[in-house]
Amino acid sequence: MSTGTWLTPATVHHLAVSRPATSGTADRAVTSGAAGWGRIVNMTSNSVNLVIPGFSHYIASKMAVIGLTRGLATELADAGITVNAVAPSLVRTGTTEAGPAAFFDIVPQMQAIKRVQVPEDLTGTVSFLVSDDAAFVTGQTFFVDGGLVRS
């Protein structure tokens, strides 16, 4: 695998998730007048608990999202801001449909719930995490993957 191929997902995930946190967004969130309440939900992947040949770069970048989630959960807790992550399986989107079609046959067969995941499968978990009901939940990663990662 070329260096460029390896670095592309890492760079994209790093900039998409950590740049807002490191560019002062988190500081502004704490001092913006909405002090005492806030929710951040990052998207990662269940692949962090799987061994997928050729995907090491992707898995490493998604594990970095989990590390950032845990770190920010600690740093922002005093401001009343919770930070969590959701780790789906292969979700049918326009982007994933551009990949190998065989994935949509193989992945559901590995899950306890044997169907392709759709974006609506994630809304309940995300809605909970941004609600007042999740006020004492922070630094966690929720695997919403139809039971693919069961350990």
Structure tokens at 140: 């966690």
Is 58 known to be catalytic?
A: yes
Q: Which of 21, 39, 45, 58 is catalytic?
A: 58
CB 70, CB 26: distance < 8 Å: no
CB 81, CB 37: distance < 8 Å: yes
Q: How far apart are CA 39 and CA 121, in angstroms?
A: 20
Query: Judging by DSSP bridges, how do beta strands 38-43 and 81-88 pair with one another?
Result: parallel
Structure tokens at 134: 């999740």
Amino acid at 129: L
Active-site annotation, residues: 58
